[in-house]
Copies of this chain bind each other. A is one copy, B any other.
Amino acid sequence: MEVLDRLVSHIQIRPGQTVFEEGDEAKFVYNVSRGHVRLFKLLQDGRRQITGFLAPGDFLGLAARQTYAYSAEAITEADLCRFKVGELETLLEEMPQVRERLYEIANDELAAAQEQMLCLGRKTAKERVASFLISQLRHGAGCGDGDAEFDLPMSRSDIADYLGLTIETVSRTFTALREEGLIGLPTTHRISIPDITTLEASTEA
């Protein structure tokens, strides 16, 4: 990975700013070094589906196709490392184990996408929100089994478009989970989970 540093340029983006748009020619690959990013697809009439949230360390633009299959925007202020796909290809010929790593990353993303399909197709609003909170906990903060607390950098609107719900339903579901004691909401963008096991139990059935 140190080899990458020679090829890399660093860019900074502001909240809401676009990194690239679906259909743009895929010239660059990025890695998030600071902040959070959302990936999404749009329908013509403006309906939006967020396909993933990225945290520091995550890659974007790895699709290996002519054009990007989704758009990417910063959620918070963010720093990205950027390098040309052509140079990545050159690197891959020298270091085949990097391709192996990319393959693993693609497969992890695929498994996450399939889990999300299960969520969108077959879970109730409450189950979707509970699943989302647990995956955010695991992906971001640590996963101590006892009490846990972490930040949600994205807005209710982002969460709604990720879970296939409306803003109002997300808000009502947060309130319901809080009233049941399954979560705490110290602030609107911070979640505490008194007991992960019981919350996990409400992610299905």
Which residue on B lies nearest to A112, using beta carbons?
B113
A contact residues, total (Cβ < 8 Å): 41
Q: Does A30 contact B (CB under 8 A)?
A: no
A51 contacts B120, C-beta separation under 8 Å: no
B114 contacts A69, C-beta separation under 8 Å: yes
Residues of B within 8 A of A164 (CB): 120-122
A205 contacts B44, C-beta separation under 8 Å: yes
Q: Does A143 contact B (CB under 8 A)?
A: no
In whole angstroms, what is the CA distance A43 to B122 when docked? Answer: 9
Shortest 7 CB-CB distances between A and B: which pairs? A121-B164, A113-B113, A120-B120, A45-B205, A106-B106, A49-B118, A44-B205
Query: Would you give 20 A-B contacts (Cβ < 8 Å), ordered by A?
Result: A41-B115, A43-B122, A44-B205, A48-B122, A49-B117, A49-B118, A51-B117, A62-B107, A63-B107, A63-B110, A63-B111, A64-B103, A65-B107, A65-B111, A69-B111, A102-B103, A103-B106, A113-B117, A116-B117, A121-B162
